[in-house]
C-alpha cells in the first residue's frame, strides 16, 4: 500500500530543496568576496594609549594583543619573575589594582626624576598611582609591542 501511494503522488507536486544550484540561481545573486582586514599597524602612540586605557579600566586582557609573545614580568624588590607567556603576565597584573588610577604623563616631575636616576626605568613608559604609591612601567620594543612589565607597590623602592 505504501508503494502504491508513492506511485500515485505525482513527482512534480513533491518539493524538495535542491542542494545543487542551477546556473540561473548562480547568476541571480551577486558574487561577494570577503577579504580579512589586516591587523592594524602598531604605533608607539597606539600602544601607549592602549596601556593607559586598559590599565586604568583594569582590563588587562585588553593588553594581550599589544604584547610580544613572551613578556618579562618584574615585581620590584622580589626575585620574581622573568620571561613568561603574555597571558601569564596579564593574569598577574592585579598586583597593581589598589593603585588605580595611574597617571601616565611622562612629563611629570616624579617620572622624569625616576627615569634620570634609575637606568632600569630610563626607557620605560611609566604610570604612577594617583591615590597611592604604586608604579607600573612598560618596555615597548621596536615593533611597538610590550616586552616587559615592571610593577611596584611603591615608587619609593627605586633609589630616588
pLDDT means per 10 residues, the chain with 160 residues, are: 48 48 48 55 95 97 96 89 92 94 97 96 97 97 97 88
Residue ranges covered by each domain of the chain: 44-157
In angstroms, what is the C-alpha Rg of the chain? 29
pLDDT at site 40? 66
> Is residue 91 within 8 Å of 58, Cβ to Cβ?
no
The beta strand positions in 6-145, using DSSP E, are 67-75, 81-85, 102-103, 125-129, 135-140
Euclidean distance between CA atoms 71 and 89, whole angstroms: 7
pTM of the model: 0.74
Chosen CATH of 44-157 out of 1.10.260.40, 3.10.450.50, 3.40.50.1370, 3.40.630.10:
3.10.450.50
DSSP 117: H
Cβ of 53: how many Cβ atoms within 10 Å? Answer: 13
pLDDT at site 72? 96
pLDDT tens digits, 54-99? 999 999 999 999 999 999 999 998 878 889 999 999 999 999 999 9
Q: How far is CA 2 from CA 5, 10, 67, 143, in A?
A: 5, 14, 68, 72
Amino acid at each position: 500500500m505504501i508503494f502504491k501511494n508513492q506511485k500515485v503522488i505525482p513527482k512534480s507536486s513533491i518539493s524538495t530543496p535542491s542542494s545543487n544550484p542551477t546556473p540561473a540561481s548562480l547568476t541571480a545573486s551577486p558574487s561577494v568576496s570577503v577579504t580579512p582586514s589586516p591587523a592594524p599597524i602598531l604605533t608607539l602612540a597606539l600602544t601607549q594609549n592602549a596601556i593607559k586605557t586598559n590599565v586604568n579600566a583594569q582590563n588587562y586582557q585588553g593588553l594581550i594583543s599589544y604584547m610580544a609573545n613572551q613578556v618579562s614580568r618584574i615585581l620590584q624588590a622580589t626575585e620574581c619573575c622573568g620571561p613568561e607567556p603574555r597571558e601569564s603576565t596579564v593574569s598577574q597584573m592585579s598586583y597593581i589594582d589598589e593603585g588605580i588610577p595611574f597617571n601616565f604623563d611622562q612629563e611629570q616631575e616624579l617620572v622624569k626624576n625616576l627615569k634620570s636616576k634609575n637606568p632600569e626605568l630610563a626607557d620605560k613608559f611609566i604610570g604612577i598611582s594617583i591615590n597611592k604609591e604604586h608604579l607600573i612601567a612598560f618596555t615597548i620594543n621596536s615593533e611597538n609591542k610590550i616586552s616587559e612589565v615592571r610593577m611596584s607597590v611603591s615608587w619609593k623602592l627605586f633609589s630616588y
